[in-house]
Amino acid sequence: MKIIGLCVIMCVLAALGGYFYGKSQVKTKVIEKQVEVIKYVAQKRSKVQAQPHAGRNELLKLMRAGQL
């Protein structure tokens, strides 16, 4: 009975230790910057797609110029 209790306590402590270790290694700043970049790209893409008659050549020119 004591062995089972010790095993349960060790498992709980191991789980808590893993949780706190993982929590300390989180990189929230990188995720926020990636979300901002995605929003910026989505805005630019919708602006380009809203222009009338955007043909393949015009889109390729914009892409190579870094505007798409």
**What are the extents of the domains in the chain?**
2-64
Between CA 32 and CA 37 the distance in angstroms is: 9
pLDDT of residue 33: 67
pLDDT of residue 54: 67
pLDDT of residue 19: 85
15-64 tens-digit pLDDT: 988 888 877 776 666 666 666 777 777 787 777 777 777 678 888 888 88
Instruction: Report residue 24 as tokens.
Output: 């300390």
User: What radius of gyration do the chain's Cα atoms show?
Assistant: 25
pLDDT of residue 58: 84
CB atoms within 10 A of CB 9: 10
Between CA 49 and CA 44 the distance in angstroms is: 9
